[in-house]
Amino acid sequence: MKLNLLVVFLFIGQLCIAQNTLTVRGKIVDANSKKPLEFVSVIINSNKTNQPITGVTTGIDGTFELKTKEKDINVEVSFIGFKTIKINTVKKENDVANLNTIELEEDAQQLDEVVVRAEKSSTEFKLDKRVFNVGKDLSSTGASAMEVLNNVPSVNVSIEGAITLRGGQGAQILINGKPSVIASQEGNALGTIVADQIEKIEVITNPSAKYEAEGTAGIINIVLKKNDKKGWNGSISLNTGIPNNHSIGVSLNKRTEKFNIFSQVGVGKRTFPNESKSYNINRTNNNEILSKGEGDKNEQFYNITLGTDYYINQYNVITLSGNFAYEIEDEDSKTQFDQIDGNNATLNSSYNRFEITEATNPKYQYELQYKKDFKNNKEQSLLFSALGSFFGKDQSSEFKNEAIVGIADPNQKTRTDFKEAQYTFKLDYTHPISETYTIETGAQYVLNDVTNDYAVDNFQGGTWVNDASLTNIFDYKQNVLGIYATAAYEGEEWGVKLGGRLENTDLNTVLQTTSQENAQNYTNFFPSVHTSYKVSNNFSIQAGYSKRIYRPRLWDLNPFFNIRNQFNIFTGNPNLQPEFTDSYELTSIHKIGKLNLNLGVYYRNTTDVIEDVSSFDTSTGVTTRMPQNFGTSKITGFEANYKVNLTKWASWNGDFNYNLFNRKGQFDANNNFDFEGSRWDTKSTIKFKLPESFDLEVSGNYRSKYKTAQGTVSKNAFANLGLRKKIIKGKVILNLGIRDLFASRIFESTQEGTNFFSSSSRQRGRFVTFGISYGFGKGEAMEYSARKRF
């Protein structure tokens, strides 16, 4: 009740103040065509301080309206490709300044230079998130979203595609703010998104209640580009590389008064080499199993995207879009297995295991979105979206064993029929009560339906015999309903945002071959608090708290495993429970001359931690990893992000993350997993502007060695290099990118228990890619040129 009265009093006070607010309005048109210009930037500056007060962009009809308490002002109007206008004398009548129609003239020189904009990635801080604006980083030529994420502060991606945020597993990946099977970390789905499709990546380590509560480490939201400049815009790109990496992409966009039609077509072929090693020791008899292998994964991909925005009027727009992608995979590998008697160093058996895998992966997504803006307040909006997506995999593998010493195991083959469908319905309403107070509310319903049909056959007695112990059909259904509300105050110096979210989870899994079922239904409340204080123009402080959940995903629960390496396997656990995290952080933002520096400390307390636990079968020598719930995890960390312009032709940016962790957990009578440790990682990038329109970029990544529940993960370091050349006044761009320059990106880990020790390593090697792109159209369309490969 007291809180409600406080809000009412603040609202009434704000209304009283608003009576003396100056309203500035007008309309922007092209001086030549006299047609309205949309997205023109209009900024109000104070004549007393020469600092910006507020700003807005024009609507589809070219109109704008701003409100300010300051009376001594000037107005600045700017738009890419046009000359900037500054209105120093603003005439007022009854607290209204009507600037009428303002005509902008084209600036030919600026049109030639527009191609250099947005070429450098940058990070900006907002009240409850960090926004990494994706530029044309040179080493990202031909790269997928996975490689781009490796450039984002606080984010790391392993060679297997596992994504960690500040070193923590369990980050929720979103596409344009919504869940999608395309954002799944399984099946290389994120590999279908490429660097030049991405406008920005939002890293939300402490999400507000507006965002779904999934992801104990936080949320990574990938926002895709959509060109909406008037007229025809587009790009054509070609890429080639070593190992095998060839693609062609075409992007076209047509904007009229009522419609914005956008399309992308891409086709290509790429290869991912792989080298692996593993080592198992049976400590009960000292027997050893060694494996060493290499192989190639080849992909052909075809993609088409088509969508349209229909502007019903100035305040209502409907968007309908769809994407279809199809991949053809083939994978071949050779692995040698040696079984050694450790007591007398005798080679008991040795054989080669050859794999041939073929798969087809259809993927499609469709979305209907409706957005309503309101006449009296351009920040007020209602947004509804309905999203459907599907990912399938029809895969078959044959494993042939050839003896070198002794007798080889029987040949095997597997079959996988995987289907995942996901539907998301989302409604968001934003209502600014005043210039400083805003409320948000909404709801989201996510339905996920998965079936995985997996079978293993062994070649016995001249015929294929099904292995019932390794064959199963696993059904997974999870529905999550969430509702939320937030209230925010954001003044010139201080801001605060309070929120609460209620989510109900209904999960059902069935292992059809054994009729084993797991049904869970639970409801949880997730509060959030965020605040910021601007000490000065060069120093700000932010603080936040949120409660998060990590729900076990399909591969955590599914008993399916891959038999590529028979002696090191992973299987899911249908009985897993969700883990919960309370997350706190404090960040300071500094601007010191040419240096932008952000320092932060954070603390995460997680219960019912999900951790992979390895067990060893002494009779077969097989190590099996399975996720389990046990214990708590407390992590305290420090993080620094920095960017400095060293000279007019060189800049340096990077980040550093260090944390201490304390794990407590008793898995069973024989396994106490209490341990402490630390880990740190850093990224650094230096960019140079060279003569003759050349740009050079060098970046390095390092991750320290750290402890796990049963072993260690080794240190890892690698470097990337990129070179760019602009020709034909910047309309054509040539890119050369080298990822993992020294082929040093090797992922190694160990596990051990009372009766075993095992280690494994993987490496993919160096990638070299050359690309050429041509962008055409008006305004910022040139910034969107390059590889539209999915």
Which segment of 301-315, 327-341, 724-738 scores lowest on mean pLDDT?
A: 724-738
Q: Which 3 state secondary structure label does DSSP give 672?
A: strand
What pLDDT is attached to residue 184?
56
pLDDT of residue 347: 92
Kindly report, residue by residue over 487-524, the tens digit of the pLDDT.
999 888 888 999 999 999 999 999 888 888 889 999 99
Tell me how many degrees the CA angle 510-514-519 measures, rounded to the nearest 5. Answer: 30
pLDDT at 671 over 80: no
pLDDT at 192 exceeding the cut of 90 = no
Q: Give residue 14's pLDDT.
A: 43
Using 50, 70 and 90 to split pLDDT, how confident is the model at 607?
Answer: very high
* Region(s) of the chain under CATH 2.40.170.20: 231-784
Whether the Cβ atoms of residue 363 and residue 391 lie closer than 8 Å to each other: yes
Mean pLDDT computed over 461-480: 91
**Higher pLDDT residue, 729 or 631?**
631
Per the omega criterion (within 30 degrees of 0), is the bond before 36 cis? no
Give the residue from 297, 276, 113 showing the smallest Cα distance to 191. Answer: 297
Question: Which tens digit of pLDDT belongs to each residue from 683-705?
Answer: 888 888 888 888 888 989 999 99
439 pLDDT above the threshold of 90: yes
Q: What is the dihedral of CA 295, 761, 193, 187, to 10 degrees?
A: 70
Q: What is the average per-residue pLDDT within 261-280?
A: 89
The label of the residue with tokens 């990118």 reads: 737
**Contact (CB, 8 A) for 125 and 542:** yes
Task: Give yes or no for a contact between 223 and 199, defined as CB atoms under 8 angstroms apart.
Answer: yes
For residue 114, pLDDT over 60 is answered with: no
CA 556 to chain centre: 20
CB 234 within 8 A of CB 250: yes
- In this predicted structure, the answer to whether residue 231 has a pLDDT above a threshold of 60 is no
Q: Which residue has the higher pLDDT, 356 or 649?
A: 356
Whose tokens are 């292995």? That residue is 467
> Poorest-confidence range of 140-149, 443-452, 657-666?
140-149
* Whole-angstrom distance, CA of residue 167 vs CA of residue 156: 7
In angstroms, the CA 742 to CA 748 distance is 17
pLDDT in tens, 19-46: 468 889 999 988 877 878 877 888 888 8
Confidence at 223, pLDDT banded by 50, 70, 90: confident
In 3D space, the residue among 467, 503, 506 whose CA is nearest the CA of residue 484 turns out to be 503
Q: Is the pLDDT of residue 140 over 80?
A: no
> Of 92-96, 188-192, 537-541, 599-603, where does mean pLDDT reach its minimum?
188-192
Q: Quick one: pLDDT band at residue 257, thresholds 50, 70, 90?
A: low
DSSP state of 323: E
User: For residue range 557-580, what is the model confidence (pLDDT) as tens digits?
Assistant: 887 667 778 888 888 888 899 999
From the list 391, 199, 226, 196, the residue with the least C-alpha distance to 306 is 226
142 in helix, strand or coil? Answer: coil
Architecture of domain 231-784: Beta Barrel (2.40)
pLDDT of 606: 94
Check if CATH label 2.60.40.10 holds for domain 2-106.
yes
Which residue matches tokens 């052909």? 300
What's the distance, Cα to Cα, between the start and end of the chain in Å? 52
Return residue ranges of the chain for CATH 2.60.40.10.
Answer: 2-106
With cut-offs at 50, 70 and 90, classify the pLDDT of residue 59. confident
Predicted pLDDT at 421: 94
What pLDDT is attached to residue 135?
A: 57
3-state secondary structure 504-565: EEEEEEEECCCCEEEEEEEEEEEEEEEEEEEEECCEEEEEEEEEEEECCCHHHHCCCCCCCC
The mean pLDDT of 658-665, rounded to a whole number, is: 92
Integer Rg of the chain from CA: 28
Contact status, residue 286 vs residue 332, Cβ threshold 8 Å: no
pLDDT given at position 730: 67
176-180, 221-225, 366-370, 516-520 — which is least confidently predicted? 176-180
What b-and-e string marks burial along 75-108, b requiring 16 or more CB atoms within 10 Å of the CB?
bbbebbbbeebebeebeeeeeebebeebebeebe
**pLDDT recorded at residue 182:** 55
In this predicted structure, the answer to whether residue 604 has a pLDDT above a threshold of 60 is yes
Bridge partners of 183, per DSSP, are none
Residue 269 exposure: Cα atoms within 13 Å on the Cβ side: 6
Q: Which amino acid is at 438?
A: T
Three-state secondary structure along 425-488? EEEEEEEECCCCEEEEEEEEEEEEEEEEEEEEEEEECCEEEECHHHCEEEEEEEEEEEEEEEEE
Q: What is the mean pLDDT of the chain?
A: 82
Q: Average pLDDT for residues 89-98, to the nearest whole number?
A: 85
Query: So what's the pLDDT on residue 616?
Result: 87
pLDDT exceeds 50 at position 7: no
